[in-house]
Amino acid sequence: MSEPAPHPPRRERERLRHRQEILDAALRVCATRGVEGVTVEHVAREAEFAVGSIYRHFRSKDELLKELVAVLADRYFQELDALVCGPLPYPEKLQAAVNLLYDRHVESLPLIAALYAAPGPMPAPGTPGAEELRALRQRQWAILDKLLAEGQALGGLAPGNRAPMVLALTGLVTSFARAEGSGLDYGGDPAADVLAIFLSGCSTS
Amino acid sequence: MSEPAPHPPRRERERLRHRQEILDAALRVCATRGVEGVTVEHVAREAEFAVGSIYRHFRSKDELLKELVAVLADRYFQELDALVCGPLPYPEKLQAAVNLLYDRHVESLPLIAALYAAPGPMPAPGTPGAEELRALRQRQWAILDKLLAEGQALGGLAPGNRAPMVLALTGLVTSFARAEGSGLDYGGDPAADVLAIFLSGCSTS
Amino acid sequence: MSEPAPHPPRRERERLRHRQEILDAALRVCATRGVEGVTVEHVAREAEFAVGSIYRHFRSKDELLKELVAVLADRYFQELDALVCGPLPYPEKLQAAVNLLYDRHVESLPLIAALYAAPGPMPAPGTPGAEELRALRQRQWAILDKLLAEGQALGGLAPGNRAPMVLALTGLVTSFARAEGSGLDYGGDPAADVLAIFLSGCSTS
Amino acid sequence: MSEPAPHPPRRERERLRHRQEILDAALRVCATRGVEGVTVEHVAREAEFAVGSIYRHFRSKDELLKELVAVLADRYFQELDALVCGPLPYPEKLQAAVNLLYDRHVESLPLIAALYAAPGPMPAPGTPGAEELRALRQRQWAILDKLLAEGQALGGLAPGNRAPMVLALTGLVTSFARAEGSGLDYGGDPAADVLAIFLSGCSTS
DNA sequence: CATGAATGAGCATTCATTCAT
DNA sequence: TATGAATGAATGCTCATTCAT
């Protein structure tokens, strides 16, 4: 009698909205109770859904959390990639990238790490989540590598193996961000200091 | 007429040995299943004791894990402090400290962190373990601060606020150690690169 | 367009029915294994539920048992209070009260006492359940006091302090009820004898 | 070379002394932690013996507690029986018996009851301890029956079935003793009131 | 599709009892 | 005989997952 076309889209939209609401709720619960403290019931209550409904959208609690990470990581990587591929001139581009890294580390990267990494070296290969974490690191590595490659070409970065530079950059950011996260205020500007040390180190000269 | 003394020592020794066996077993379980995955039953099985026996040595699972950390941390801090207070001349002392930091990070520091830090910024104050973690960090901070103060006096480190330097040093070490822990071999000497970047950064000149 | 109302009632009814089934099961378990011998698993098995289901209805084993007592006690006190406040003329009202006390003592009061009273004087204040038991006693005391006050006014009870009378009445009832409960049949009518002795004692004259 | 005779007695005496120390310790633990809260380790610590040593003297925790009751009960019954068989003239003898009952109820009978009686009617036949409790009651019953028989002959007690009188007497004592045990002070002399009500009841006339 | 009650395996912890020294 | 470490079954409770309505 009528085309079945107009309806499905609405259904679909609704469904996606609910899925997103659940993810948002999960993120809030993670923030308040810590990742290990999350239960499906907490998420359900926070999202104002029934427990069973969560399972309509995600096969398991684990999948829900992985999806959450994927979403956050994606958002973050797109931002970072856009910046790296953007038109900013060099010293500013590097500083902007450090700022972004720093901000995201304070915000959501901890969650990502928490979900996948028993902090410490890395989840043993075979551990649940190990593969996903490896992929995340890979992706970040590629973007930062691109950033530093441009720096070598145009920004005064030392030539040669970029791997230690990538490690240095992320290590510095992580350390300063954790310090801020734990309430330490040493009286300086973290993002600026990260960049300064990354470029010139701590010795006189 | 005779002391009941000769025997107790054996009992005592035996007891301590078993206690240590349990701690060792716990460490092995942490390594294989991750800290969150540790179960009293796992530890018991690994230590080849009955569940109840664990509780004769430790009041609770929590206390067992805290003890484990305390032992590892103490060993590590004493080593580091001895080195820092030792007679080595400066550039070598710094390198030696970095080497030690690096080695211990690959080995046991991840466990320490894992036990106390929901990875991410820091456990919220009030969280179990938060206070202990804070104390650990404090202790490491103090030792490294001493190391860097000597560097400012005698070793060519830039004068001024040492806080960002401490953060930089630990961040660099952590990052390179994690990389090695996850199987990445970028073809360089991590400890040497850490020191080089810490001192001179990554830019040319 | 349509209310989602018609269904919830059924759910709700079902839920309450199950809750009641659990309470009933718990009472049966108390009767067979004694209060101290009650296990959540026993209750679950008796109620034909899974262990976890018990906890959907009661926050803890303790709360379940307290609820059980509250229900029984409430039923009993309402009955007793109704009788005491009722229109019966005096000698009959007193006999009716004794009958009721006696019957309930044989049935459920022992449970109530058992749940709250480590038999013996009383749970030390601070003991879990001590406060609740005190409240139960208070409530029974108030009702019986009212009953005896009316007896002093209209029923030939001696004037003066009613406290020993309350103690005497409950003591007599408890003793005769326990005797019946333990299978002793001395050949008399317990409730009648309780009243007779309460009023006139055991001496001639 | 020498007679083995002189020694055994000392050994035996020592052994009995230890046994008694354990019983005393058990009684103290019961008093502080409640009967249900007693553990073998508590008793051992209180008695300053090792856990295993307890089992040299008592086959099981249960047997230890039963022995404890037996000792207390025996002491109590002997006292009571001596009084009942003694030369006191009647009204005084009854009062003295009530006083003794009352005192022992406040002291150790609660323990006896606690050990054997889930308060309430009685442990179901077959329940552990049921038989022993029955025996205790029997013994008390016999003594009190003798007391009341003498009262019927010489002391103005009503003739006829003494069973309800026994029940009344114990019920009154128990009730008043419990009240005192729970801190209630109604302003009268409990033992005197017990006797008065037992003899003459609560009605005027 | 949404609901939320039911499930049951899993976990930390306790404690009576045994046994090698 | 005394010791006390070792045992392991038992208990209260949690939580991811299922499924009838």
Shortest alpha-carbon distance between residue B156 and chain A (Å): 6
Q: What is the pLDDT of residues B55-107, one digit of tens each?
A: 999 999 999 999 998 998 898 899 999 999 999 998 899 999 999 999 888 77
Subunits touching B (CB < 8 Å, at least 3 pairs)? A
Residue D123 to chain C, least CA–CA distance (Å): 8
Give the Cα-Cα-Cα angle A92, A95, A96 (nearest 5 degrees): 85
pLDDT at site C34: 81
Average pLDDT score over residue span B139-150: 94
Average pLDDT in chain B: 86
Which chains touch A (3+ CB pairs under 8 A)? B
For residue D113, what pLDDT is reported?
A: 64
Look up residue C44 and give its two tokens: 């679950």
Please report, rounded to a whole number, the percentage of residues in chain B having pLDDT higher than 90. Answer: 59
D–A touching, 3+ CB–CB pairs within 8 Å = no
Residue with tokens 């400890």: B191
* Chain D, nearest residue to C130 by Cα: D182
Percent of chain C with pLDDT over 90: 59
CA distance C149 to C168: 15
Cα C87 from Cα D123, distance rounded (Å)? 39
Q: State the Cα–Cα distance between residues C109 and C95, nearest whole angstrom.
A: 19
Mean pLDDT of chain A: 85
Least confident of A109-118, A166-175, B24-33, C166-175: A109-118
Instruction: Specify the 3-state DSSP secondary structure of C203.
Output: strand
3-state helix, strand, coil in chain B (%, to 5): 75, 0, 25
pLDDT confidence of residue B126: 56
Tell me: the pLDDT tens digits for D18-50?
Answer: 999 999 999 999 888 888 889 999 999 999 999
> Chains C, D: CB contacts under 8 A, how many?
177
The three-state (H, E, C) secondary structure of B114-136, written as one string: HHHCCCCCCCCECECCHHHHHHH
Rounded to an integer, the average pLDDT of D86-97 is: 93
> Residue D70 CA to F10 C1' — how many Å?
29
The predicted structure's pLDDT at residue D181: 76
Judged by DSSP in three states, B34 sits in: coil
Specify the domain boundaries for CATH 1.10.10.60 within chain D.
Answer: 1-58
In the DSSP assignment, the letter for residue A159 is P
Neighbours of C39 (CB within 10 A): 12
Q: Which two tokens stand for residue A161?
A: 């193996």
Q: Which residues pair with B125 in a beta bridge?
A: B127
More confident of the two residues D111 and A147: A147
Question: Among residues C195, C81, C199, C196, which one has the least CA distance to residue C147?
Answer: C81
Q: Is the pLDDT of residue C117 over 50?
A: no
Nucleotide nearest to A56 (CA to C1'): E1
- Record the tokens describing residue C130, joined without a space: 């001590």
Torsion over CA: B10, B13, B19, B23 (sign): negative
Predicted local distance difference test score (pLDDT) of residue C126: 56
Q: Which amino acid is at A188?
A: G
What amino acid occupies position D124?
Answer: A
Distance CA B20, CA B61 (A): 15
Per CATH, which fold does D1-58 belong to?
Arc Repressor Mutant, subunit A (1.10.10)
CA angle, A17 then A18 then A22, to 5°: 120
CA distance C175 to D168: 7
Nearest to A135 by CA among D201, D107, B182: B182
Residue B118, pLDDT score: 39
D103/B26 Cα distance (integer angstroms): 56
Q: How far is B202 from chain A (nearest CA, A)?
A: 5
% of chain D exceeding 70 in pLDDT: 84
Backbone angles phi, psi at D156, to 5 degrees: 80, 15
Q: Tell me what percent of the residues of chain D surpass a pLDDT of 90.
A: 57
D and B touch with 3+ CB pairs <8 Å, answer no
Closest CA to A156 of A123, A198, A96: A198
Mean pLDDT value of segment D126-145: 80
Q: Which chain D residue lies closest to C185 (C-alpha atoms)?
A: D163
Kindly list the distances between the CA atom of residue B22 and the CA atoms of B10, B35, B41, in Å, as whole numbers in the listed order. Answer: 18, 15, 12
CA D132, D138, D139: angle at the middle one, nearest 5?
95
Which of B8-22, B83-97, B112-126, C5-19 is predicted with the least confidence, judged by mean pLDDT? B112-126
CATH number of A65-202: 1.10.357.10
Name beta bridge partners: A203. Answer: B157
User: Long-range contacts made by residues A62-67, C-beta under 8 angstroms, separation at least 24?
Assistant: A62/A128, A64/A22, A64/A23, A64/A26, A64/A40, A65/A26, A65/A35, A65/A38, A65/A115, A66/A115, A66/A129, A66/A132, A67/A23
* Confidence at residue D35, expressed as pLDDT on a 0 to 100 scale: 83
pLDDT at C138 over 80: yes
**Helix, strand or coil for residue B156?**
coil
Distance CA A109, CA A115 (A): 10
What was the pLDDT predicted at C179?
85
Q: What is the pTM of this model?
A: 0.85
Asked if pLDDT for residue D96 goes beyond 70, the answer is yes
Burial D137-155 (b: 16+ CB within 10 A, else e): bebbbebbeebbebbbeeb
**Helix, strand, coil: what percent of chain D each, to 5?**
75, 0, 25
CA distance B181 to A123: 9
Enumerate the CATH 1.10.357.10 domain ranges in chain A, comma separated.
Answer: 65-202
Q: Please tell me whether residue D125 adopts helix, strand or coil conformation.
A: strand
| CA dist., res. B127 & res. B117, Å (int) | 10
User: What is the CA D48 to C1' F6 distance in angstroms?
Assistant: 21
Answer with the residue of higher pLDDT: B185 or C122.
Answer: B185
Whole-angstrom distance, CA of residue C106 vs CA of residue C111: 10
Chain D residue with Cα closest to C188 = D164
Q: Hey, what are A201's tokens?
A: 């180190």
C54, C50, C53, C83: which is closest to C67 by C-alpha? C54
In angstroms, the CA B190 to CA C16 distance is 66
Name the residue closest to the C1' of E10 by its CA: B39
Please count the other Cβ atoms lying within 10 Å of the Cβ belonging to residue C43. 26
Helices A109-116 + A130-154 axis angle, to 10: 140
The pLDDT assigned to A5 comes to 53
Strand partners for B203: A157
- The residue type found at A189 is D
Instruction: Work out the average pLDDT over A63-81.
Output: 91
Q: State residue C122's pLDDT score.
A: 46
Whether the Cβ atoms of residue D155 and residue C182 lie closer than 8 Å to each other: no
Which residue from A112, A38, A7, A113 is spatially nearest to A70, judged by alpha carbons? A112
Residue C97 pLDDT: 96
pLDDT of residue D8: 66
Place of tokens 């959540």: C40
Tokens of residue C42, six digits: 């026993």
